[in-house]
Every structure is written in C-alpha cells, then in structure tokens.
Amino acid sequence: MSDTRSASGQRVARAYLSMFQVAILTVVAVASLRSLPTMSTYGLGSITLYVIPAVLFLVPTALVAAELATGWRGGVYVWVREAFGNRWGFQAIWLQWVQNVVWYPVQLAFIAASIAFVFGDQKLANSGLYTAIMIVAFYWISTLLNLRGGGLFAKVGSWGGVIGTLIPGVILIVLGAVWLIAGNKSQVPMEAGDVIPPFTGLASIVLIVSNFLAYAGMEVNAVHADDMKQPGKQYPRAIFVAAGLILLVFILPTLAIAFVVPKSQLGLTTGINIAFQAYFEHWNIGWATAIISAAIALGALASVITWIAGPSKGLLAAGRTGLLPPWLQKQNKAGVQVGILVSQGVIVTILAGLFVVIPNVSAAFFTLVDMAAALYLIMYMLMFASAITLRRKAPNVKRDYRVPMMPLVAGVGFFASLAAFLLGFIPPSGLSGIPSSAYPWVMGAVIIVLGIPPLLFYALRKPSWDQRDKTQSATEGESRA
C-alpha cells in the first residue's frame, strides 16, 4: 500500500491490485453464466458460434486493450481522447457507461432468479414485485461497496467471481462429463458434424455476429491498470489469462447445460439453475441446488460490482475536464465518484419499477439491452480506430506491450464491430412486442436518445465545470479540449 490524495486533498491509503485480481475481474466482467442457456440450444454448434466471434472480436479487443492500457492509463476515454480529442473521448466513455446502466437491471434480475432457487420457490422468479425489490437491494449493495474505495470492490469482485462464476462453471463441466461417461442420454445430437451449425443464410450470419458482444468488457478494467504495481508487465498477462478462461467458461458449461436440459425448459433467467437442478436431482442431491444457486447469484453480483467501478470511473475522468456539471463530478473522501454512482442508481431504481407495472417486462428489457448494445459497438469502433491512429500519431510513446501487425489486428476488430452494428438493425428471431417493420426505427431511436447526451453536455459546457487543477490542465494541453 502507498498513500495518495483524493480530490479534496485528504491523504488516503492506496491498495494495489494483483495480476490475479485484474484477470478475475475481467473474467467476471465478460463471462456471465446468464447467457449460457441461450447458446446451449445450439448444442455442439455453440462451439463454432463462440470460436468465430472470439477470433474476430475477443482476440483483437484483448490485444489492442493490452497495448493501449500500457501506453495510456485511464481506459477508453483517454485512448480515444489522445487520438481524436476530448469530445470523442467523452463520447466513447459515455457509450460504455450508458449501455451498462440499461444492462444492470437485467443482470440483477438474473441474481433475483438464482435467489428464488435458494429459497426453493421458482415461482418467485416470475414475480415482478420480487424481482424489482431484489434489483434495487442488490444494486445499492454493490454501489455501497464501491463507495468504500480502497480496493474493497476488487476483493469482493475477484473472490465473488471465483466462487460464483469459475467454480460453478467447473462443477457444471464435471457434471456434464460424468453424465456422458455414465451413458446418460444427451438432449442434443453428439455427432462430429454437429459442431458446424446448419447454415440458414443471413439468419446464421446475424447469429454469429450478434454473439460478438458476449465478449464485451475486455477493456473495462483497463482503468485499473494504474492501480497495479507493474502495469506494463502485469496488465497484458492479466488480459491474456482472462481471455483463455473466458473461452473455457463459455464453451464447456454451455455444452453441459445442453446435455441435460431440453430446449423447451431453457428460460432467459433460470436456465443455468434448471441445469444444476436436473443434474443434482438425477443423483439424489437436490439440496445442492440451493447452494450452487447462491454461488451463482454471488458471481452475478460480482460482475455488477466490477462494471459499476469501471465505466463510472472513466466517466468521472472525462467529466472533470469540464464536460459534466459539478454535481455529477462529486467525489467522497475515498476519491470515489459518488455523484455518478448515485445518479445511475436512481436510473436503475426507476427501471426496476417497470418490472412491477409492465407485463412481460423481462422480454422487453432483453430487447432494450440488445438495442443498447449497438452503442457499445460504436465505442469499440472508436477504440480500434484510436489504436491505429495512435501508432501513427504517437509512435514514440512507450508501450510496454505492442500488438504485432496493429493495422491488421485493429482493422479486423473494427470491421467486425461495424458488421455487428449494421446487422443489429435486423429484427431477431422470436421478437415479440415490436413489429418487425418498426424494429429498425425503434433501434435507431434508442441509439439517438441514449447516445446524444454527451454531445449536448459538450455543447452546454461552462468553464466552471472544469474541476482540474492548473497542473492537470497544462499537462493535458489544449489539443484535447
């Protein structure tokens, strides 16, 4: 530990993050068990559906984030700002932040469903009032942990990720292997040819591309590179370890779910719990379902804690250059962005209330999250373009890790993100509640409504909003303003 100072000038203890903590925090931020049941419907074909996006998106994102984080500390805001100026840096971090504000209620609803299995009452998972209460309670618990500062969020997030994501994932893999070895029937075909899913034209392409964002988040913990003792060495290693673990956590447990749960029983929020229940009841240890569901809930909570810490910290860094009103820039004694965390908490609380008043709001929220994901893809395009630009614009800036063939690697990531963005305007199969003809227009409206505020803040900014001291302002220079 070493001492540093908060914005108020008070001395606070600084806790360094280890390579293990950053790697696990990255796994937790990316590898949610919530999405596995959806992919398990494709059986062995899910392998291909995971590997192709990993090659085209996960690998470029991991490599580019590793270089940028060891050259410029501060995350996507700083990277894009250095390449294209403060306006676009602010736009990039805003897109990362706002997409997650919409995502929080969905992830927290998954926690609520897992807790219902702990209570032994699956019907609770379908109760809007219960879901709303759990969303609000767990969001504010996560926020309070972040407000403590001092690395507490990292300890809770990393160990919560081990207990609630990695361990359940490993147990599910073992259960699936034992199931097959024991000669039990698989719910999906097991022929070698089934690894290649059937090609149905544009729908198949949309399916593969839509899975790109299963890997979103590889860059989010780059803001914490500055919290490592040797970021140049530790951060790239953490990213590469995380990338390998993410692939394993996605592919193998997905297959284990497919072996035992029929497609008709794979719910949006309960599929993973139903898989464990099926395995445990088969071997007459049904009581273990409550224990593993509690662990899964902890892992999902850890991912929320991780996401709350990352984008909001980057948004504060941008806001302090004069791009956010002072009340949004407010920090507590630990130097934590209390103004932003409380503001997003109010939004999440309002969204949670919709679970009570709108029928079938779960499906509506999943549609909204899919639309908001398009904003994240715009951020990735800015990130990849910044990596290429900074190789040309700032070739002498020391990077402790350099991506081989940066234009090719970042170019693949950019065009993969662009393809995913454009194909996102095609209505997904099984869409309910929105006419297919209206879907592209609603998609465009969501992008505009959620994406335009930073441009308005930039246009309305005032000199009094700049909370930097004179040294910081001089260091950053006029070219970034």
Identity of the residue numbered 176: G
Instruction: Look at phi and psi of residue 349 and say left if phi exceeds 0, alpha if psi is from -120 to 50, else beta.
Output: alpha
Contact (Cβ atoms closer than 8 angstroms) between residue 202 and residue 426: yes
d(CA 235, CA 225): 6
Predicted local distance difference test score (pLDDT) of residue 382: 96
CA–CA separation, 353 and 433 (whole Å): 19
Per-residue pLDDT, 387: 95
**What is the structure's pLDDT at 381?**
96
If residue 246 lies in a helix (H) or strand (E), which one and from where to where? helix 231-260
Stretches in the chain below the pLDDT threshold 50: 1-3, 7, 471, 474-475, 477-481
Residues 6+ apart with CB under 8 A from 335: 4, 6, 7, 12, 149
Torsion of CA 403, 65, 158, 309, to 10 degrees: 160
CATH classification for the domain delimited by 16-462, as one of 3.20.20.60, 2.40.50.140, 3.40.1190.20, 1.20.1740.10: 1.20.1740.10
Domains of the chain by residue range: 16-462
Report the C-alpha gap between 365 and 354 in whole angstroms: 9
The reported pLDDT for the residue numbered 202 is 65
Q: How far apart are CA 242 and CA 236, in angstroms?
A: 10
Quick one: pLDDT at residue 481?
A: 38
Q: Which pLDDT score is estimated for 14?
A: 56
| The predicted structure's pLDDT at residue 474 | 46
Q: How far apart, in whole angstroms, are the C-alpha atoms of residue 148 and residue 160?
A: 17
Whole-number pLDDT of residue 411: 96
Q: What is the pTM of this model?
A: 0.78
Distance CA 366, CA 382 (A): 25
Q: Tell me the Cα Rg of the chain.
A: 22
